[in-house]
Every structure is written in structure tokens, then in C-alpha cells.
Amino acid sequence: MAQRRMFSKKVTDTDIFLDMPLSAQALYFHLNMHADDDGFIGNINTIKRMVGASNDDEKLLIAKQLIIPFEKSGIVVVRDWRIHNYIRKDRYAETIYKNEREQLGLDETGKYQINGPIIDGLPMVDQRETQVRLGKDR
């Protein structure tokens, strides 16, 4: 596993990120630092205790779509992992969380997204509800 991590200003300089409390921001940075080479974290509760973050900080990161949780296994993945980090092939170690990795795909910007209609009770981000078209006589 690579020991160096990068952070992109495309994520950390956004209003969505900067409007969060400092404890949630610190949790996000520490999750990135402790993630494997594919962005997966299997010990989020340990990291929360290390940095003094609360369950509300985790819920906020989920609500802001900065991390994707897998409810059944307790594993989370940093959604913008591939925007932040590029790891050379000779230093890359594949994640041990292969089942969770198979449930994800990449969108056109390089962010992780959930494949399939619903996984672990979370709808896909790019699914739209049925739209009602209004005619001329609204």
C-alpha cells in the first residue's frame, strides 16, 4: 500500500466541503489518509475515535456524498478517491474489499458511483424519478 496521499482542491475548496464543521473535515482527511489504494476503509469507527469525530460527522459526509457506505459490511469508500490520488502500478496494492469494489463504477469525472439500481438501500445518484411533462394547457 502506498504511504503518500494527495488531496485535490477540486474537492476541498468547494462550498460543500468548507461549510462542514472542522470535525467532519478532519474525519474526511483522516479517512483519505487511512484508506487503501482503492479508497476503501474498513475501520471507520477506529478512525472516528482517533480524531474525536462523532457519528454525526460520518452522517454528514454520507449526506454530502463524500463517502459511500456499505451498510452490511461496515466498509466505506471515499467517493472522490481517484480525483485525489493516482498511484503508480508498481506501488499499487488492490483492495481486499472485492465484493464492495464490484458494486462500484466510475462516472465521467472519475468519482465512484454505485452500479445497479439499489445497493444496501441507497439509490443510485444518477437515477431520476419519472418526470411528468406538462402540455400547453397546464
Confidence of residue 125 (pLDDT cuts 50, 70, 90): very low
Residue 90's domain comprises 9-123
Per-residue pLDDT reduced to its tens digit, 51-100: 999 999 999 999 999 999 998 889 999 999 999 988 888 888 999 999 99
> What's the number of domains the chain is made of?
1
d(CA 134, CA 138): 6
Specify the pLDDT at position 2: 63
Give me the sheet containing 40-41, strands edge to edge: 40-41, 75-78, 67-70
Would you say residue 53 lies in a domain? yes
CB-side neighbour CA atoms (13 Å) of 44 = 26
Would you say residue 77 lies in a domain? yes
CB-side neighbour CA atoms (13 Å) of 74 = 5
Write down the pTM of the prediction: 0.77
Confidence of residue 136 (pLDDT cuts 50, 70, 90): low
Would you say residue 138 lies in a domain? no
Count CB atoms within 10 A of the CB of residue 49.
10
CB 122 within 8 A of CB 62: no
For the cut 60, the answer to whether the pLDDT of residue 116 exceeds it is: no
Higher per-residue confidence, 130 vs 64: 64
d(CA 54, CA 49): 8
